[in-house]
Amino acid sequence: RKEVEQDPGPFNVPEGATVAFNCTYSNSASQSFFWYRQDCRKEPKLLMSVYSSGNEDGRFTAQLNRASQYISLLIRDSKLSDSATYLCAVLRATGGFKTIFGAGTRLFVKA
Partner 1 sequence: EAQVTQNPRYLITVTGKKLTVTCSQNMNHEYMSWYRQDPGLGLRQIYYSMNVEVTDKGDVPEGYKVSRKEKRNFPLILESPSPNQTSLYFCASSIRDTREQYFGPGTRLTVT
Give residues in contact with partner 1 (CB under 8 A): 32, 34, 36, 41-46, 49, 87, 89, 91, 96-104
Q: Which residue number, 1 or 41, has a Cβ lying nearer to partner 1?
A: 41
* C-alpha gyration radius of the chain: 13
- Of 73 and 78, nearer to partner 1 (C-beta) is 73
The DSSP code sequence of 65-103 is ETTTTEEEEEE-S--GGG-EEEEEEEE-STT---EEE--
CB of 99 to partner 1, least distance (A): 5
Please state the separation of Cα 71 from the chain's center in Å: 7
Task: Give whichever of 98 and 110 is closer to partner 1, judged by the CB atom.
Answer: 98
